[in-house]
């Protein structure tokens, strides 16, 4: 997969992967945001499940 925005180093400025592809940048940004939000939601469910077990059984 060729993700490089440059073909030579002379005169290169922003050279990170997909620097020349705004759609891919936005897609990756959205993906990372989904990971952050999704992880918080996942953590909330796990936490709630643990609390319910303790409330019902007195232990996890």
Partner 1 sequence: MEQQIADLTAKLAALEASTKMSGTINSEVFYWWCIALMIVIHAGFLAYEMGASRAKNVLASGIKNILAFAFIVPTFFFFGWWIYLAFPGGITVADAAADGLPWAQKMGPNLADNATGIFWGAFALFAATTASIMSGAVIERIRMTGFIILAIFLGSVVWILGASWGWHPSGWLTTEYGFHDVGAAGCVHLIAGAFALGVLINLGPRIGKFNADGTANEIGGHNMPMTVIGLMLIIVGFFGFLGGCIIYVNGGQWTNIYGQPTTLSAFSFNTLMGFCGGLIGAWVKTRDPFWMMSGGLVGIISAAAGLDVWYPPLAFAIGFFGAFMAPIVAKMVEKAGIDDAVAAVAVHGWGGLWGVIACGLFASGYPNINDMPPVSLMGQLIGASVFLALGFGSGFFLSLVLKMFGLLRVPPNSEILGLDKTKVPLAAYPEGLRAMPAE
Residues interacting with partner 1, by CB under 8 A? 9, 12-16, 19, 22, 25-26, 29, 32-33, 36, 40, 43-44, 46-47, 50-51, 54-55, 58-60
Minimum distance from CB of 15 to partner 1 (Å)? 6
Nearer to partner 1, 1 or 40 (CB): 40
6/21 Cα distance (integer angstroms):
12
Nearer to partner 1, 7 or 44 (CB): 44
Cα atoms in the Cβ-side hemisphere of radius 13 Å centred on 57: 8
Residue 24's contacts (CB-CB under 8 Å, 6 or more residues apart) are 18
């Amino acid at each position: 997969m060729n993700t490089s925005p440059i073909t030579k180093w002379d005169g290169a400025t922003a050279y990170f992967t997909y620097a020349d592809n705004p759609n891919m940048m936005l897609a990756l940004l959205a993906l990372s945001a989904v990971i952050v939000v999704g992880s918080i939601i996942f953590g909330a469910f796990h936490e709630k499940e643990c609390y319910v077990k303790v409330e019902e059984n007195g232990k996890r």
